[in-house]
A and B are shown apart, each in its own frame.
Chain A
Amino acid sequence: MSGPNTDYDPVEVAAVSPAELEAARDAALAAIADAADLEQLKAVRSEHAGDRSPLALANREIGALPPQARKEAGQRVGQARGAVNQALAARQEVLEAEHEARILVEEAVDVTLPTDELPVGARHPLTTGAELIADIFVAMGWEVAEGPVIEAEWLNFDALNLGPDHPARTMQDTFWTEPADNHVVLRTHTSPVQARTMLTRGVTEEAPIYVVCPGRVFRTDEYDATHSPMFHQVEGLAIDEGISMAHLKGTLDHFASQMFGEGITTRFRPSYFPFTEPSAEVDLTCFVCRGTGLKGEGPDTCRTCRGEGWIEWGGCGIVNPRVLQACGIDSERYSGFAFGMGIDRTLMFRHGLEDLRTLFEGDVRFTTAFGSEL
């Protein structure tokens, strides 16, 4: 490196000769253009724009020129360096973009590969089905009531107008706990929950009773495709001033259309249940044929309802005043309705299940098909 040389004749300074500058610049630009990747460009940058590059050296020599020559030489060197730096930056940008694009291409995967490392869970349709039913009623301002599955005989039968010698007791084959004279049974229906609700809550003008009682019940039925010693029921109870069968019909029609879709409604037929009077069987519009009784466009009959257009769904009626009496409710002032149907059976219709036993086998292929909500 040399110090300022005031006597130096600029004409004789070769390093800043225009020709050399041009050559150095062109060499640099050519090298930049030739750089195939960022690595090469880095080397080019060092060689042609680094501290020891010809243009850097030339720049340094400018200070050694006589003052009258500095301006012109400075301009020329500056232009050459500017061109090189610009080209470097441009090439850098191009190569970076190329690099990124290449990485993304290289990192491509087969997105069709399986990703089932973690198991999928599910809730049982009997659980989610009961919740769906509960939600339909809760949305109408009803509450969900529950009670024990092992129940006092008095609550399961007597309080519901099923006296010890009532013929209806033979209709419900009951599991008795030991010793049998303990008067404790596996509940045969969820009606004792209704009795408990009336007994514990009572009813007032401000607080009428509107409850649904979903739950597990037991009868001594042999286990087959349509019978099970354990199954699930949902019962409903409304007690208020001025309750009539019209309210019962309205509630069940609403329930039916929420559960099975618009246009599905109910039909009543006279029947007999000890806890209701008048009593009715509830039929549901067959949601497969939608009441036509025909399979598709016909002429075959619908398999689900056997051409009836209706499916038996459950039982219902006006609460027998004898039940109100046993549960301490003023039957002169209040009337009520009650209904009950099988949840298992309802799900079998809704989801086209052929065999009740699939609900209780615990095969994960069955349950996972339903996910975590119904």
Chain B
Amino acid sequence: MKAPVSWIRELVDLPAEVTTEVLTDRLTALGLKLEGIDSADITGPLVIGRVLTKEPEPQKNGKTINWCTVDVGEANGTGEPQGIVCGAHNFAPGDLVVVILPGGVLPGNFVISARKTYGHVSAGMICSVRELGIGEDHDGILVLPPDAGVPGDDVFGLLGLDDEVIEFEINPDRAYALSLRGVAREAALGFGVPFADPAVRELPAADGKAWEVVVDDPAGCPVFAARLVSGFDPAAPTPEFIKRRVEQAGMRSISLAVDITNYVMLELGQPIHGYDADKVVGALGVRRAREGEQVTTLDDAVRKLSVEDLVITDDSGPIGLAGVMGGATTEMSGSTTRILVEAAHWDAVSMFRTGRRHKLTSEAGKRNERGVDPLLPGVAADRVVELLVEHGGATAEPGFTLVGTAPERTAITIATDLPARLSGIDITAMTTVESLRAVGATVTEQDAGTIEVVPPAWRPDINDPYDLVEEVVRIVGYDQVPSVLPRRATGRGLTRTQRLRRRVGRTLAGAGLVEVVSFPFVGEATFDKLGLPAGDPLRVTVGLANPLSSEEPAYTTTLLPGLLEAASRNVGRGAPGVALFETGTVAFPADNGAAPIYGVHTRPSEAELEKLVEALPVQPQHLAVVLAGERRRAGWWGAGTDAGWTDALAVVRRLAADLGVRVEVGAAARMPWHPGRCALVSIDGVQLGHAGELHPSVCAAYGLPARSAAVELDLDALMAAAADVTPGPDFSTMPLAKEDVALVVDAGVTVAAVEAALREGAGDLLESIRLFDVYTGEQIEEGQKSLAFALRFRAPDRTLTEAETGAARDAAVARAAELTGAVQR
């Protein structure tokens, strides 16, 4: 909402010392937030001049310039006529014009100086409205009316250039402030000065005779006012003050009749529509649109109507989208002489829905959907008629049609100490009552510290006791709220899951991984890039009805795409290697039907809440890792090593060790991993996810180094398996006995299988087992491999004898032979 300061001051008698800055500060404190202040970008001297002489001088370039002398009074310091070259021709000696003298600055930082041009010294400039920044007209210079003033007069005031325009951000609950009436009322409230309500008017008695109006839907249109004027002069110009104010408010000046309806809307907040009465056939009607109807609105769009849209009709059918935009068939034109004026109160929800349905925002719709004072229609129509008569030479036709009445406001009962209790400010009952009266409410005092409050008609947002509290507190001042810490919080600290999540992040960062936060939006192309086969479960997504990009219309089922893109970006920016991780939500459709919408007056039952939750997608937390390129850097110490499948598994194992979880690893083949270098990670047989080297095609698709590796795990499952309270380990300090064994097995036998067999066979004396070498080559047969394990034995209570350790080792080897065909080398 843009409000000229001069207009505000016209409606409220603000003290002179209230500057624009003081005014905006006060209004911001009351809830009308300052967005910005527009002011003219001109520095004087800018004065009235009277053209004394005007000599046309044709030039070689075909143009004719005028060499003028202009009386600018004493403004030039000498009182002598000022010589000025002017290219325009729409004036004559004797005319009053606007002159900017050397030293002045026009908008666009255009500095005026005396300069030699066309063989003269031109000492200043005669201005057009466009040069002054107050209009678009550049056909000629601005010629002032003969009674505008005398030469040398400052014209800032005359042209409104000294005016400032305040732009406010208006919250949905302050729709009344989308008018000068509302802004001025707040200003009056803010400075405790009287307010001249422009909506207070003496109205003729409603007789229904202006025009026949039939309202079929009184719920959608509780009040409809109509007036008629005739003999309007369609050529009459818009008076300067109306034009200026309409433009200051950010609207275009179109024609006198349209400008007047907009002017009154700005003044009062009531949207108004003017019809060319000669184009309206029969009675005006208000009803919901019928199936298949359409209407062409003023913006020349053909709009297919919904049965929920409120429309204005005449005998021809719908002629306008009620309250939002008028129709083309009855539009006022350059030949309109009879104007039918409509001002109506509309159901805000219906307006909101129609605006949204037709993606149509208009100044009228914006006000109607937020709620307008229902007492205004008759007043606004009368005000429009007054201005059409005054400035358009029209005659007000007798008759005033007013259908319906404004709905009654219900009284709200409130304890007088509620504002004090909820604000923490010491607010007396008297202050409460006075503040509510100041905002226009009718307050009746009841017994026992309660009052009954009827909110003013222009405040449809006030319905509850708490709404009244806000009114009182904003008048007392939000800056009066004291600062007191509540003392009763009895929290139990972070939950176990929250602590575990931090632990996971710290462990991964400690392993040299950098956390990434990426967007969860994916599409088919994303999954194609990952090489997922058709029908892969990860392709079954929760779709978005209104995605930002049609390429990525779904919520992701995997964290890898975001990580791979980030890795690719880092590599593209020159990183020799990158190790990233992300934790976050992935989503899988639940397919349990729609989530119910319940009422809001009582709490839903447990069963109802459960239904709500069941309808939501399954949303586990995942953890993903991408390792690409150099993992250990090359340097003066020697070569570096690139990330590979082992690094991916090392991350998994490190994390598992930190969380006290035993993960099992087995071979798997799953895109986007290399089919021979992918591990399925599980806990107690429950699958957790995969880790390993990425498929070469995926590395290529993302532009990542060959052998880049990745992990994706179900973080919820991993954290659920984490040791709750870790029992203190029991370990022996007796001497250690070492035995190394080398076993030859078929190449297809896994290390895990051999190790498990050794462990089983070695028995309780085995403290640890670790593979330290794998050998294939000349010394053993082809298709076989040699695995060297270091076995470490220790007893809890004694030094082991050689015989004991030897026996345990032999038992271990024997079990490995039995289960895996291992032969000791």
CA A336 to CA B464, docked complex, whole Å: 16
How does the 8 Å CB contact mask read for A246-289 relative to B, with 1 for contact and 0 for none? Answer: 11111101100000000001011111100001111100000000
Chain B residues with CB under 8 Å of A363's CB are 566, 569-570, 573
CA A277 to CA B462, docked complex, whole Å: 11
Contact B483 A249 (CB under 8 A): yes
Contact B509 A183 (CB under 8 A): no
Contact B612 A367 (CB under 8 A): no
Chain A residues with CB under 8 Å of B505's CB are 123, 127, 372
Chain B residues with CB under 8 Å of A248's CB are 481
Across the interface, B421 reaches (CB within 8 A) one of A117, A167, A208, A244, namely: A244
How does the 8 Å CB contact mask read for B448-477 relative to A, with 1 for contact and 0 for none? Answer: 000000000000000011110110011000
Given contacts A246-B482, A269-B33, A280-B478, contact A117 B632 (CB under 8 A): yes
Chain A residues with CB under 8 Å of B349's CB are 165
Chain B residues with CB under 8 Å of A171's CB are 172
Contact A321 B513 (CB under 8 A): no
Contact A277 B594 (CB under 8 A): no
How does the 8 Å CB contact mask read for A337-374 relative to B, with 1 for contact and 0 for none? Answer: 00000000000000000000001111110011000100
Chain B residues with CB under 8 Å of A247's CB are 424, 484-486
Contact A167 B352 (CB under 8 A): yes
A47 within 8 A of B: no
Residue of B nearest to A265 (CB): B483
Contact B506 A372 (CB under 8 A): yes
Across the interface, B466 reaches (CB within 8 A) one of A119, A126, A138, A320, namely: A320
B505, B509, B596 interface centre (most CB from chain A within 10 Å): B509
B547 within 8 A of A: yes
B798 within 8 A of A: no
Closest CB of chain A to B573's CB: distance in Å?
Answer: 7
Across the interface, A142 reaches (CB within 8 A) one of B474, B491, B616, B633, namely: B491
CA A132 to CA B636, docked complex, whole Å: 39
Closest CB of chain A to B126's CB: distance in Å?
Answer: 38
Chain A residues with CB under 8 Å of B422's CB are 244-245, 278, 318, 335
Across the interface, A140 reaches (CB within 8 A) one of B489, B495, B569, B578, namely: B489
Residue of B nearest to A141 (CB): B489
Chain A 121-163 interface residues, beta-carbon cutoff 8 Å to B: 121-124, 126-127, 131, 134, 138, 140-144, 146, 148-155, 158-159, 161, 163
A199 within 8 A of B: yes
B60 within 8 A of A: no
From A26-34, A61-69, A293-301, A323-331, the one touching the partner chain is A323-331
A230 within 8 A of B: yes
CA A168 to CA B348, docked complex, whole Å: 13
Contact B486 A121 (CB under 8 A): no
A113 within 8 A of B: yes
Contact B632 A254 (CB under 8 A): no
B54 within 8 A of A: no
Contact A176 B545 (CB under 8 A): yes
CA A372 to CA B581, docked complex, whole Å: 13
CA A307 to CA B482, docked complex, whole Å: 26
Contact A186 B555 (CB under 8 A): yes
Closest CB of chain B to A346's CB: distance in Å?
Answer: 15
- In the complex, the number of residue pairs spanning A and B with C-beta atoms less than 8 Å apart equals 310
From A10-18, A38-46, A90-98, A235-243, the one touching the partner chain is A235-243
Contact A144 B498 (CB under 8 A): yes
Chain B 416-468 interface residues, beta-carbon cutoff 8 Å to A: 421-425, 464-467
Contact A246 B483 (CB under 8 A): yes
Contact A119 B544 (CB under 8 A): no
Chain B 487-524 interface residues, beta-carbon cutoff 8 Å to A: 488-495, 498, 502, 505-506, 508-521
Please classify how large the interface on chain B is, using the bins under 10, 10 to 19, 20 to 34, 35 or more.
35 or more
CA A165 to CA B570, docked complex, whole Å: 45
Contact B506 A113 (CB under 8 A): no
Across the interface, A184 reaches (CB within 8 A) one of B479, B521, B616, namely: B616
Residue of A nearest to B593 (CB): A182
CA A354 to CA B333, docked complex, whole Å: 51
A60 within 8 A of B: no
CA A227 to CA B619, docked complex, whole Å: 25
CA A126 to CA B636, docked complex, whole Å: 36
Contact B490 A120 (CB under 8 A): no
B609 within 8 A of A: yes
Chain B residues with CB under 8 Å of A181's CB are 594
CA A186 to CA B587, docked complex, whole Å: 11
Across the interface, B491 reaches (CB within 8 A) one of A116, A206, A210, A229, namely: A210
Chain B residues with CB under 8 Å of A362's CB are 516-518, 562-563, 565-567, 569-570, 580
Closest CB of chain A to B792's CB: distance in Å?
Answer: 27
Given contacts A144-B494, A245-B481, contact A278 B470 (CB under 8 A): yes
Contact A177 B542 (CB under 8 A): yes
Contact A246 B464 (CB under 8 A): no
Given contacts A208-B488, A327-B603, A367-B516, contact A154 B424 (CB under 8 A): no
B579 within 8 A of A: yes
Chain B residues with CB under 8 Å of A361's CB are 566, 569
Chain B residues with CB under 8 Å of A367's CB are 514-516
CA A87 to CA B74, docked complex, whole Å: 118
Contact A119 B633 (CB under 8 A): yes
How does the 8 Å CB contact mask read for B610-625 relative to A, with 1 for contact and 0 for none? Answer: 0011011101000000
Contact B28 A269 (CB under 8 A): yes
Given contacts A271-B31, A328-B602, contact A207 B490 (CB under 8 A): yes
Contact B493 A138 (CB under 8 A): yes
Chain B residues with CB under 8 Å of A245's CB are 422-425, 473, 481
Chain A residues with CB under 8 Å of B413's CB are none
A224 within 8 A of B: no
CA A180 to CA B544, docked complex, whole Å: 8
Residue of A nearest to B568 (CB): A362
B301 within 8 A of A: no
Chain A residues with CB under 8 Å of B28's CB are 269
Closest CB of chain B to A344's CB: distance in Å?
Answer: 10
Contact A148 B585 (CB under 8 A): yes
CA A223 to CA B519, docked complex, whole Å: 11
CA A131 to CA B502, docked complex, whole Å: 8
Residue of A nearest to B626 (CB): A362
Chain B residues with CB under 8 Å of A270's CB are 29-31, 470, 473-474, 478
B772 within 8 A of A: no
Across the interface, A175 reaches (CB within 8 A) one of B515, B547, B598, B619, namely: B547
Contact A326 B601 (CB under 8 A): yes
Closest CB of chain B to A201's CB: distance in Å?
Answer: 12
Residue of A nearest to B170 (CB): A272
Contact B172 A272 (CB under 8 A): yes
Chain A 176-215 interface residues, beta-carbon cutoff 8 Å to B: 176-184, 186, 199-200, 206-208, 210
CA A85 to CA B572, docked complex, whole Å: 73
Contact B632 A118 (CB under 8 A): yes
A170 within 8 A of B: yes
Contact A230 B519 (CB under 8 A): yes
Residue of B nearest to A209 (CB): B489
B370 within 8 A of A: yes
Chain B residues with CB under 8 Å of A250's CB are 482-486
B546 within 8 A of A: yes
Chain B residues with CB under 8 Å of A249's CB are 424, 481-484
Residues of B within 8 A of A (CB): 28-31, 33, 171-174, 349, 352-353, 356, 369-370, 421-425, 464-467, 469-470, 473-474, 478-479, 481-486, 488-495, 498, 502, 505-506, 508-521, 542-548, 555, 562-563, 565-567, 569-570, 573, 575, 577-580, 584-585, 587, 593-598, 600-604, 609, 612-613, 615-617, 619, 631-633, 635-637, 640
Other 12 A-B pairs with CB < 8 A, given A119-B632, A181-B594 = A134-B494, A140-B489, A182-B594, A184-B616, A208-B488, A229-B548, A245-B425, A246-B482, A249-B481, A321-B466, A325-B603, A362-B518
Give me the 10 closest cross-chain CB pairs, A-B, nearest first: A246-B424, A362-B566, A328-B603, A141-B489, A270-B31, A278-B470, A272-B171, A178-B543, A244-B424, A121-B509
A sample of 15 inter-chain contacts (CB < 8 A) reads A124-B517, A141-B489, A148-B616, A177-B555, A229-B519, A244-B421, A249-B424, A253-B483, A277-B464, A278-B422, A320-B466, A326-B603, A335-B421, A359-B517, A362-B518
